[in-house]
Chain A
Amino acid sequence: MKAVFLIAANLMREIFRKKDFYVLLLLLLLLLVYLLNAAFFGIRDVFRYMKEIGLGLVFLFSLLISVPFAAKVMIDEAASKTIYALLAKPLSRFQVIIGKFLGSLFVAWCSFSFFFFLFVLASVYKQGVFTGILYFQVYVAGLCLLLVLTAMTLCLSVYCTFSTTITLAYMIYFLMSWFGGGLHESLYKIPLLGQAVYYALPHFEFFDLRHRLIHLWEPVPAWVMLALVAYACLYSGAMLLCARYGFNKRWL
């Protein structure tokens, strides 16, 4: 297990020693400051708009960091040939995958947590109301989303090139986020195959609880949150097993 954490720690060091992360951080800070000071004259319910844009930015920036990072960790290792020295150590290939996954996930979670924290500060400051449970649920759902997205991207990167991985990951994410709910009926018209495709696709739409926070709706029941976490864990596990299968077969 120590080896897995060492690989993960190495990845964290990489992101914190690169400039990309800080550029995005600065950009988001500027946008949030702008939102805080924006005066939407004539628009009622200005907080809702602010929260919608703010939350959208938090998710978008987290995606911008996590997807390319998860897509490149395995590909870079092979392309730069650092994988040779790494796999010559007493490690299994699956340990390398898990280490890379944990490192990518940590980076994704860290950036999301930081962006979300900034958003909470900004929105509470502007609105003066703190609905703790709703913020918590949106935050946990966001972490689950990143868990699935990171595992899926890493799995794709074992089979595809960098650009294909990024394109596919974003395509699947946006398609499922926007149209995932409607897929159920259309895919169920095709008997076995449609159902198989429906269950094989990652249902990112499950994790989108943002509207509850924006419109201050009721929080979702605890069992739904538990089911979300369980789904995210199971789906990520399946993705990692797929990645293991592909990586074990590969000649380096």
Chain B
Amino acid sequence: MSNEVLILKEVSVTYRGKAYSKDALRNLSLSVNRGEVFGFLGPNGAGKTTTIKSILNLLYPTQGSIFVFDSPSFHPRVRQRIGYMPEIAQYYWYLTPRELMMMYAGFFGIKKNDALRKIDGLCALVGLEKEAGVLMKNFSKGMMQKVSLAQALINDPELLILDEPTSGLDPVARMKVRDIIKDLKAKGTTVFFSSHELSEVELISDRIGILNAGRMVTVADMKDILSQKGHRQSLERYFLDIITKEENQ
């Protein structure tokens, strides 16, 4: 069994419209190791969501290949071991969180009783106990984010992919998400997440990758970044230095 859970090899994605074409990813290579928390950073439009969509086969790389658990990412069976929280949390308004998660649990072949137990546990984990049986049509953005996180964990994923997991959450909920990610890491789950919240990334990531204009600019250990040149610096400083240098070139 390989130690690398996720491998991207020379992945390029080009969006082609009628009047334009845009290289969203350019020869992106990356690997994420088992059990690590990998923070995926970059300015707006850098290609973070495109990378995540490529991993999940929602769009197709123009060139290159992606492997998840040593299998090509396009095979539905690899998604049996993946949990995904999308950037924009939208779910069926006519369902309750419990019904939504029951349906998703069915896709993973989880038995009804196990699923019910699991759903109660997940609702408690994200703080949705009282709303588990309420239709989602009146849910706030923050509540939808909580549903989104809970549904991503329904299959006890070995690889959890989170796209901006804390956007729209209040500080208490953010802290909770951070704690959940730390707990998952302690249990051996690999977490790959994109975020603009550099302070959070700094607190929970083992490694980070910085993407700019579709290119991977750097991949580094969090510890190395924080102790660079012998004195402590913040991830924010590091990130800004890198991006500024890139833009000046």
Give chain A's interface residues, CB within 8 Å of chain B.
Answer: 2-3, 6, 9-10, 13-14, 17-18, 80-85, 87-92, 251-252
Residue of B nearest to A6 (CB): B106
**What are 21 residue pairs bridging A and B, where the CB atoms are less than 8 Å apart in the complex?**
A10-B103, A13-B94, A13-B95, A17-B135, A82-B91, A84-B86, A85-B84, A87-B57, A88-B56, A88-B84, A90-B77, A90-B79, A90-B107, A91-B76, A91-B79, A251-B15, A251-B58, A251-B59, A251-B60, A252-B58, A252-B59
Cβ of B189 under 8 Å from chain A: no
CA distance A252 to B90 in the complex (A): 15
Which residues from chain B contact A83 at a C-beta distance below 8 Å?
A: 58
CA distance A2 to B115 in the complex (A): 15
Which residues from chain A contact B106 at a C-beta distance below 8 Å?
A: 2-3, 6
Which residues from chain B contact A2 at a C-beta distance below 8 Å?
A: 106, 109
Give the Cβ gap from B249 to chain A, nearest Cβ, in Å: 30
Residue of B nearest to A2 (CB): B106
Q: Is there an interface contact between A18 and B104, defined as CB atoms closer than 8 Å? A: no
Cβ of B88 under 8 Å from chain A: yes
Known A-B contacts A10-B92, A13-B94, A251-B58; A85 and B151 likewise in contact (beta carbons under 8 Å): yes
CA distance A6 to B104 in the complex (A): 9
Q: Is there an interface contact between A10 and B148, defined as CB atoms closer than 8 Å? A: no
CA distance A18 to B88 in the complex (A): 24
Q: Is there an interface contact between A84 and B58, defined as CB atoms closer than 8 Å? A: yes
CA distance A6 to B109 in the complex (A): 11
Our pick among B15, B56, B80, B90 for the contact of A81 (Cβ within 8 Å) is: B90
Our pick among B57, B77, B148 for the contact of A85 (Cβ within 8 Å) is: B148
Residue of B nearest to A10 (CB): B103
Known A-B contacts A18-B94, A82-B91, A251-B60; A89 and B104 likewise in contact (beta carbons under 8 Å): yes
Our pick among A82, A84, A88, A91 for the contact of B92 (Cβ within 8 Å) is: A82
Q: Is there an interface contact between B107 and A87, defined as CB atoms closer than 8 Å? A: no
Which residues from chain A contact B82 at a C-beta distance below 8 Å?
A: 88
CA distance A9 to B91 in the complex (A): 16
Which residues from chain B contact A14 at a C-beta distance below 8 Å?
A: 92, 94
Which residues from chain A contact B15 at a C-beta distance below 8 Å?
A: 251
Residue of B nearest to A84 (CB): B86
Which residues from chain A contact B34 at a C-beta distance below 8 Å?
A: none
Q: Is there an interface contact between A81 and B86, defined as CB atoms closer than 8 Å? A: yes
CA distance A81 to B58 in the complex (A): 11
Shortest Cβ-Cβ A-B pairs, 10 listed: A88-B84, A251-B59, A89-B107, A84-B86, A252-B58, A17-B94, A90-B80, A90-B79, A6-B106, A81-B90
Interface hub of A2, A17, A91 (most chain B Cβ within 10 A): A17
CA distance A14 to B137 in the complex (A): 12
Interface hub of A80, A82, A85, A91 (most chain B Cβ within 10 A): A85
Which residues from chain A contact B59 at a C-beta distance below 8 Å?
A: 251-252
Which residues from chain A contact B77 at a C-beta distance below 8 Å?
A: 90
CA distance A49 to B74 in the complex (A): 58
Q: Is there an interface contact between A6 and B107, defined as CB atoms closer than 8 Å? A: yes
Cβ of B196 under 8 Å from chain A: no
Chain B 68-86 interface mask (CB, 8 Å, partner A; 1/0): 0000000011111010101
Residue of B nearest to A89 (CB): B107
Give the Cβ gap from B222 to chain A, nearest Cβ, in Å: 27
Which residues from chain A contact B108 at a C-beta distance below 8 Å?
A: 89-90
Interface residues of B in 97-126 (CB under 8 A from A): 99, 103-104, 106-109
Which residues from chain B contact A91 at a C-beta distance below 8 Å?
A: 76, 79, 107
Which residues from chain B contact A251 at a C-beta distance below 8 Å?
A: 15, 58-60
